[in-house]
Amino acid sequence: MGAKVILTLCNPVKRTLSEVVTAAGRRNLTMQESAELVVNEEGEVDGLSDVVVSSMYSRHLPGWLRHFEINSTLLVVNGDNLRMRPWKELSRVQVRENYVAGK
């Protein structure tokens, strides 16, 4: 049996904000310095910023799809649902994978 992967995706804007907060905490940044992580000098979102790029699923998905097939080896899970209602999302995974607890 080959590898199976559960890919957890969430709202990319929320994910970017989470990345900014994490980076700011790690680097002890001010609010202004935190904003500069994602906003360029013209006041626009900097699409080349590491914290923005990591949340751009469209850039990463083609690579994942070269190695895994959706519905056979790759299961996409809604990360927002997983965080808010983990029992519901995990139940969906169990049904999808025919998983029975204790076996």
Total domain count, the chain: 1
* 46-70 tens-digit pLDDT: 999 988 998 898 888 898 889 888 8
Residue 37 lies in a domain: yes
- What backbone phi and psi angles, to 5 degrees, belong to 3? -70, 145
Mean pLDDT of the chain, nearest integer: 86
| Tokens coding 100 | 């029975």
Residue 103 lies in a domain: no
Q: What's the rounded mean pLDDT across residues 1-22?
A: 85
Asked if 16 contacts 86 with a C-beta cutoff of 8 angstroms, the reply is: no
95 band by pLDDT with thresholds 50, 70 and 90: confident
Residue 101 lies in a domain: no
Residue 43 lies in a domain: yes
Among all chains, which residue has been given the structure tokens 């360029």? 40
Which structural domain range is residue 51 located in?
5-96
Q: Model-level pTM?
A: 0.68
